[in-house]
Amino acid sequence: MGTAAIQGELWGAKARDWAEAQEPAWLPVFGAAMALAGVGQGRRLLDIGCGTGGALVIARDRGAEVSGIDASEAFVAIARERLPDAQIEAGEMEELPFADGAFDIVTGINSFQFAGDMIRALGEAARVCDSGGSVFMLVWGQRDRCQLQLAAIRALGPLLPPSPVPPPPLAEPGVIEGLLRKAGLTPSGSGVFDETIAFPDSGTALRAFASAGMVTRAERHSGAHKVRDALADAIKPYIRGDGQVVLANQFRWVKAVPEF
């Protein structure tokens, strides 16, 4: 079973909740990412790990010709509803179903780290990127600056099955750049930015949190009631007087160009 089959089933389990509760809160992050990636009029964009199409809609509104791929068939179905004229595929990011040099910009917003083979996935991003184009990778920043990530880890850490391989520390300077070089890409820029992720109320926040793939894993390992109670406790520090749940976060990005 490939990475897409495993991850797609986990992340697509609550696809409508993701589309309606999670992605709207991420629109400021998507907007910042598309601006930093240089997405604009007439640019051919591929978003890898496109989810239900939130970032693609922003890219289209900036004038780009958009395409996407995601591991989840359920996510892809919703993205196609939103963008019926776009080519949006379900499949492996390590085996992209697109031609060499088909895109000016290839983005991965918190997605490449879910590949079974990250270097191979980045190499595929390089392959489908035009010689004058770029690959843009966005990940979480330093953990102590990421309140959403901290809340999720606080809630889910004890409830998840043990992970056999710890993920690489992508927020550390130089780590992403090293992976990109191994994949045949030359880093050309990097940075961090801060952005809040806000939900109108705790019910929406819990629905959004529960739509993530790692929560599905935790529910199957420890039970849905335990997970929901833990998430409810974890978001309490971030509930404001008006009922909004507002979490401040840092994101790290790196842009690279293909080596030809």
pLDDT digits (tens, 9 = 90+) for 130-143: 999 999 999 999 99
CB atoms closer than 10 angstroms to residue 131: 10
Distances (CA, A) of 216 to 10, 131, 222, 260: 6, 39, 10, 41
| Residue 2 pLDDT grade (very low, low, confident, very high; cuts 50, 70, 90) | low
Query: Which pTM was predicted?
Result: 0.95
The pLDDT, as a whole number, for residue 216 is: 92
The pLDDT, as a whole number, for residue 1 is: 42
Cβ atoms 253, 36 nearer than 8 A: yes
Render pLDDT for 72-127 as a digit per residue (tens, 0 to 9).
Answer: 999 999 999 999 999 999 999 999 999 999 999 999 999 999 998 999 999 999 99
pLDDT at position 7 over 90: no
- Between these two residues, 12 and 251, which has the higher pLDDT value? 251
pLDDT (average), residues 239-248: 98
Domains of the chain: residue spans and CATH: 3-145+163-196+250-258 (3.40.50.150)
Q: How many CA atoms lie within 13 A of 138 on its CB side?
A: 27
Cα–Cα distance, 59 to 39 (Å, whole number): 6
